C-alpha cells in the first residue's frame, strides 16, 4: 500500500511549481493514460493550468466548478457546474462516472468541498491529491496581525473610523457589517448580486492578476490605512500584500482554514507524476 505520507514526500521533492517546459515530461502513451478518468475540482488558476496540461497530454478529465462565477474562464476540458449534494452526492458522482483519480485544485479557503473530497474519496477508495499554492508569509517589517477566522478579524474592527480595504471576496462581508463606522474599499471580479452591507463603501469591479504598482496607486488614491485579507497565497492576488509592504499599511491576515492532512503539492508537474504512479489506496 502507498501511504499518504509517502506520496506527500514524493510530491514535495518535485519542483518547480509549474512545468519547466511547455512539453509534458510524461507522454500519455498506451494503457496507463487511457485507464485514468480524472475529476478535477476547480475554481482556481492552478486548476485551469492543470486542465490545459491534461488536455495537452490527452488525459481524460472532467473539471468541476461550483458555479459561483457567471463567466468562468475558458477551460479546454468537459466541465460540470454546481454542487454535488454533499459527501453522498460526490460519492454517487465518483461511482457513477467511474472516476479513477481526484485532484482537488480548489481555493485554500474552499474548505468544505476539500473536506467532502477527502471523505468521499476515502469511502470509495479513490486516490486524491490537492494542487494548491503556498501561503504568503510576513517579511521583517510587515505589520501583520494573523487571525484564525473572518469573525475574529471583524472583532478587530471595533474602534475609530478607518479606511479599510476589505479584500476578502464577496461571500463573507456580512461578518463585518456590525462595524459601520469605517469606509470600506471592496474589489470583486464580478458585479455582486446584492449590495454590500455597508453605509460607506466603494466597489471596484476588476479581475486579477493585479500589479504591485497599480495596487500602490489604488491604496494611495483611496487613502487606505488598513487591509483585511485572507491568506490565499499565490501570485494572482499578492499585489496588495506587496503594495501594503511598500506603503507600510497594516494587514489583518486571516489564516487558512484547517483541512485534514492529505497528499498535497504546489507543483503541477508533480500531479502528473502522481497520476502515473496510479496508487490504489492512499489511506487518506
Q: Which residues bind ligand NAP (CB under 6 A)?
A: 41-44, 64-66, 68, 83-86, 89-90, 106-107, 109-113, 116, 169
SS3 137: coil
User: Residue 106 Cβ, how far from ligand NAP at the closest point, in Å?
Assistant: 3
User: Residue 275 Cβ, how far from ligand NAP at the closest point, in Å?
Assistant: 19
Cβ-based nearer residue to ligand NAP, 16 or 89 = 89
The answer to whether residues 271 and 265 touch, using CB atoms and an 8 Å cutoff, is yes
Q: What are phi and psi of 67, to 5 degrees?
A: 95, 20
Determine the Cα–Cα distance for residues 117 and 82; give it in Å rounded to an integer: 15
Residue showing cell 477508495: 125
User: Residue 81 Cβ, how far from ligand NAP at the closest point, in Å?
Assistant: 8
Cβ-based nearer residue to ligand NAP, 4 or 105 = 105
Q: What are phi and psi of 187, to 5 degrees?
A: -130, 120
Q: Name the residue whose CB lies closest to ligand NAP.
A: 83
Determine the Cα–Cα distance for residues 123 and 114; give it in Å rounded to an integer: 14
Buried b or exposed e, range 68-100, using 16+ CB within 10 angstroms: eeeebeebebeeeeeebeebeebbebbeeeebb
User: Residue 56 Cβ, how far from ligand NAP at the closest point, in Å?
Assistant: 22
Cβ-based nearer residue to ligand NAP, 110 or 164 = 110
Question: CB atoms < 10 A from the CB of 55, how many?
Answer: 13
In whole angstroms, what separates CA 20 from the centre of its chain? Answer: 22
Closest CA to 226 of 137, 156, 276, 278: 156
Cβ-based nearer residue to ligand NAP, 168 or 216 = 168
User: Residue 113 Cβ, how far from ligand NAP at the closest point, in Å?
Assistant: 4
User: Residue 168 Cβ, how far from ligand NAP at the closest point, in Å?
Assistant: 8
Cβ-based nearer residue to ligand NAP, 256 or 273 = 256
Closest CA to 237 of 267, 257, 212, 204: 212
In whole angstroms, what separates CA 96 from the centre of its chain? Answer: 27
Cβ-based nearer residue to ligand NAP, 107 or 187 = 107
User: Residue 9 Cβ, how far from ligand NAP at the closest point, in Å?
Assistant: 26
Determine the Cα–Cα distance for residues 60 and 109; give it in Å rounded to an integer: 27
Determine the Cα–Cα distance for residues 12 and 34; give it in Å rounded to an integer: 26
Cβ-based nearer residue to ligand NAP, 6 or 188 = 188
Length of the chain: 284
What are the C-alpha distances in Å from 204 to residues 157, 161, 239? 22, 21, 16
User: Residue 172 Cβ, how far from ligand NAP at the closest point, in Å?
Assistant: 8
Cβ-based nearer residue to ligand NAP, 28 or 234 = 234
Amino acid at each position: 500500500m502507498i501511504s499518504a505520507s509517502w506520496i506527500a514526500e514524493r510530491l514535495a521533492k518535485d519542483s518547480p511549481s509549474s512545468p519547466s517546459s511547455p512539453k509534458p515530461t510524461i507522454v500519455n502513451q498506451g494503457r496507463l493514460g487511457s485507464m485514468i478518468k480524472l475529476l478535477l475540482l476547480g475554481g482556481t488558476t492552478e486548476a485551469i493550468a492543470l486542465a490545459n496540461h491534461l488536455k495537452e497530454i490527452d488525459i481524460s478529465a472532467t473539471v468541476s466548478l461550483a458555479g459561483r462565477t457567471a463567466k468562468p474562464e475558458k477551460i479546454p476540458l468537459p466541465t460540470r457546474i454546481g454542487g454535488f449534494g454533499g459527501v453522498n452526492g460526490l460519492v454517487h458522482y465518483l461511482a457513477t462516472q467511474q472516476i479513477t483519480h481526484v485532484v482537488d485544485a480548489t481555493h485554500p479557503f474552499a474548505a468544505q468541498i476539500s473536506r467532502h473530497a477527502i471523505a468521499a474519496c476515502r469511502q470509495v477508495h479513490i486516490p486524491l491529491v490537492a494542487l494548491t499554492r503556498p501561503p504568503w508569509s510576513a517579511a521583517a517589517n510587515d505589520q501583520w496581525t494573523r487571525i484564525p477566522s473572518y469573525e475574529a478579524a471583524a472583532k478587530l474592527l471595533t474602534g475609530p473610523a478607518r479606511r479599510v480595504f476589505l479584500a476578502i471576496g464577496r461571500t463573507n462581508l456580512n461578518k463585518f457589517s456590525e462595524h459601520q463606522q469605517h469606509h470600506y474599499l471592496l474589489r470583486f471580479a464580478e458585479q455582486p448580486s446584492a449590495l454590500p452591507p455597508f453605509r460607506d463603501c466603494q466597489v471596484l469591479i476588476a479581475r486579477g492578476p493585479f500589479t504591485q504598482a497599480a495596487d500602490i496607486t489604488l491604496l494611495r488614491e483611496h487613502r487606505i490605512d488598513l487591509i483585511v485579507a485572507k491568506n490565499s497565497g499565490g501570485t494572482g492576488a499578492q499585489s496588495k500584500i506587496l503594495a501594503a509592504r511598500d506603503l507600510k499599511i497594516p494587514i489583518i491576515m486571516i489564516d487558512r482554514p484547517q483541512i485534514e492532512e492529505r497528499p498535497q503539492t504546489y507543483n503541477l508537474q508533480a500531479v502528473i507524476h502522481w497520476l502515473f504512479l496510479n496508487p490504489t489506496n492512499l489511506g487518506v
